Amino acid sequence: DAKTTQPPSMDCAEGRAANLPCNHSTISGNEYVYWYRQIHSQGPQYIIHGLKNNETNEMASLIITEDRKSSTLILPHATLRDTAVYYCIVRVRIQGAQKLVFGQGTRLTINP
């Protein structure tokens, strides 16, 4: 089972920063936090991942708390095309295979 907790839904105004929280209080020291998003009827799209340091790429920023028990995905200037379900995933290792197990995610709606 996924070991993350996310709010089921959020709204954000177009052009503003969207901040999506994720709790992962049982994360282990060598587990990464990954973020994916799924636009309706498409496969998930990789956004960003991190271990302990904050990360930034062309899509988003990832802020991980010092105790690593929670993180926040930041979309700095949200557009209507950012409307999607956002999944925060802790990468687990089971039986030697690293699976991505999806929780329910956060349905982010960007409003004009």
Partner 1 sequence: GAVVSQHPSRVICKSGTSVKIECRSLDFQATTMFWYRQFPKQSLMLMATSNEGSKATYEQGVEKDKFLINHASLTLSTLTVTSAHPEDSSFYICSARDILNTEAFFGQGTRLTVV
Work out which of 9, 15, 46, 79 binds partner 1, going by CB under 8 A.
Answer: 46
CB nearer partner 1, residue 31 or residue 105? 105
Residue 4 CA, distance from chain mean position = 10
Distance from first CA to last CA of the chain, Å, rounded?
A: 36
Which residue from 8, 58, 81, 97 is in contact with partner 1, where contact means CB under 8 A? 97
- Give the Cα separation of 82 and 79 in Å (integer): 5
- Minimal distance, residue 43 CB to partner 1, in Å: 4
Query: CB-wise, 29 or 95, nearer to partner 1?
Result: 95
| DSSP annotation string for 16-71 | SPEEEEEE-TT--TT--EEEEEE-TTS--EEEEEESSS-EE-SS-EEEE-TTSSEE
Q: By CB under 8 A, what part of segment 19-38 binds partner 1?
A: 34, 36, 38
Residues that bind partner 1 (CB under 8 A): 34, 36, 38, 41-46, 49, 87, 95, 97-105
